[in-house]
């Protein structure tokens, strides 16, 4: 089965397609290949998790989608296609917008950011402008994308702050970010992201700096709002516990590539890629009665300026097949209707290469 077919989302509607995406940073030290061939179909109306170690390309995938890759980085190859559902009379028509064809500072991509695709960044204190009130920042987003006046924008800002569980929202819109707690700032970021009811919400480690109680509240809130609005969430995290709670499907990334794509149950109960298996073995299990030590993943993530021949995980893999894994890069292969993996253990290429 081809890589495009293998990365499809079980026949469900797809709202965002990423094909062979390469995002590189050109520096004095050399070329850093942040994304090295990402292919992914994001199903509409679902929560898709993106997991992996730091430096695997999770956040860069999100920034590439929004065309916000910082200099000296740029997309050098591949495409990102947004599927829009539009009502024409009694029927719905799906149109496509190739985001990779748009200028990063152009009018069209700026009209898409915040309106059709919104993002919650990791640290709200650095994402919110300290010079403006929370209300002003939410209202700015509404006024930019919606045909409303100042009074209507303020009413909508109060309503969305109330929806995300903010106490006394009509008063809170006049407060500055530094006057809010971490949990309240994160709720304000979520309110800003949801203010225009986006089709896709990208959440990049949105609960990293929060205590566990506040984290649980934020996760519950996002799930409730997702079900209510029907939007798609691309949830970026390194926390597999959050993935189990939040997500319907999961993409596991390693060194700028998707190495496993599955439903959340398939990943947790039947992981296929050696890297995904190693990730699951390295996390503690609540209620475990054994005193066995956690099993860390052998080795370290390669330097981003280093090009690894063959499968990028083979230097750390306990199941390496010499002459195969260290020579060629495996394709993403469907092993079941709901499970795809980039590994020669599940690919006919390995047998062909081994025999030859």
pLDDT tens across 318-351, in order?
Answer: 889 898 999 999 999 999 988 999 999 987 544 4
For the chain, helix, strand, coil in percent to 5 are: 35, 25, 40
Q: From CA 310, how far away is CA 304, in angstroms rounded? A: 15
- Tens-place pLDDT, residues 257-295: 999 999 999 999 999 999 999 988 887 766 666 666 777
Q: From CA 135, how far away is CA 143, in angstroms rounded? A: 12
Specify the pLDDT at position 348: 59
Q: Is residue 192 classed as helix, strand or coil in its secondary structure?
A: helix
pLDDT tier for residue 98 given thresholds of 50, 70 and 90: very high
Calculate the average pLDDT of the chain: 86
Specify the pLDDT at position 354: 41
Specify the pLDDT at position 4: 47
What are the chain's domains?
3-116+198-284+296-355 (3.40.50.300)
pLDDT tier for residue 1 given thresholds of 50, 70 and 90: very low
Q: What's this model's pTM, rounded to 2 decimal places?
A: 0.87
- Tens-place pLDDT, residues 185-213: 888 888 888 888 889 999 998 877 677 88
pLDDT tier for residue 250 given thresholds of 50, 70 and 90: very high
Specify the pLDDT at position 124: 65
Cβ neighbourhood burial of 284 (10 Å; 0-12, 13-18, 19+): exposed
Q: What is the 3-state secondary structure (H, E, C) of 236-304?
A: ECCCHHHHHHHCCEEEEEECCEEEEEEEHHHHHHCCCCHHHHHHHHCCCCCCCCCCCCCCCCCCCCCCC
Structure-token pair, residue 79: 């495409």
- 145 or 89, higher pLDDT: 145
Q: From CA 173, how far away is CA 138, in angstroms rounded? A: 9
pLDDT tier for residue 5 given thresholds of 50, 70 and 90: very low
Q: Is residue 338 classed as helix, strand or coil in its secondary structure?
A: coil
**Owner of token pair 């890629």:** 273
What backbone torsions phi and psi does residue 188 show, to the nearest 5 degrees? Answer: -65, -40
pLDDT tier for residue 89 given thresholds of 50, 70 and 90: low
Structure-token pair, residue 204: 């990049």
6 pLDDT above the threshold of 70: no
Q: What is the 3-state secondary structure (H, E, C) of 30-56?
A: EEEEEEEEEEEEEECCCEEEEECCCCC
**How far, CA to CA in Å, does 203 sit from each of 163, 174, 233, 321?**
18, 25, 7, 37
Specify the pLDDT at position 166: 87
Specify the pLDDT at position 181: 86
């Amino acid at each position: 089965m081809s890589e495009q077919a293998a990365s499809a989302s079980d026949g469900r509607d797809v709202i965002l397609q990423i094909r062979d995406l390469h995002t590189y940073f050109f520096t004095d030290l050399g070329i850093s290949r942040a994304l090295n061939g990402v292919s992914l179909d994001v199903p509409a109306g679902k929560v898709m998790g993106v997991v992996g170690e730091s430096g695997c390309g999770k956040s860069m995938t999100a920034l590439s989608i929004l065309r916000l890759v910082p200099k000296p980085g740029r997309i050098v190859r591949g495409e990102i296609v947004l599927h829009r559902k539009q009502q024409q009379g009694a029927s719905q028509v799906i149109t496509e917008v190739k985001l990779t064809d748009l200028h990063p500072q152009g009018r069209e991509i700026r009209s898409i950011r915040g309106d059709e695709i919104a993002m919650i960044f990791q640290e709200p204190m650095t994402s919110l402008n300290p010079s403006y009130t929370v209300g002003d920042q939410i209202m700015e987003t509404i006024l930019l994308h919606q045909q409303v006046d100042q009074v209507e924008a303020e009413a909508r800002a109060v309503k969305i702050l109330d929806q995300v569980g903010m106490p006394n929202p009509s008063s809170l819109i006049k407060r500055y970010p530094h006057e809010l707690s971490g949990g309240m700032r994160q709720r304000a970021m979520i309110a800003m992201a949801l203010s225009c009811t986006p089709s896709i919400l990208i959440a990049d480690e949105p609960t990293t700096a929060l205590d566990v109680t506040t984290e649980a509240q934020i996760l519950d809130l996002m799930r409730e709002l997702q079900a209510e609005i029907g939007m798609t969430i691309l949830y970026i995290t390194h926390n597999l516990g959050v993935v189990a709670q939040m997500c319907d499907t999961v993409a596991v990334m390693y060194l700028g590539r998707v190495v496993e794509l599955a439903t959340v149950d398939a990943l947790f109960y039947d992981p296929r890629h050696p890297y995904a298996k190693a990730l699951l073995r390295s996390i503690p299990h609540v209620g475990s009665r054994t005193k066995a030590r956690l099993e860390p993943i052998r080795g370290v993530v390669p330097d981003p300026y280093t090009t690894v021949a063959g499968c990028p995980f083979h230097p750390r893999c306990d199941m390496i097949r010499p002459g195969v894994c260290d020579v060629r890069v495996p394709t993403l292969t469907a092993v079941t209707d709901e499970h795809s993996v980039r590994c020669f253990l599940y690919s006919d290429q390995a047998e062909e290469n081994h025999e030859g």
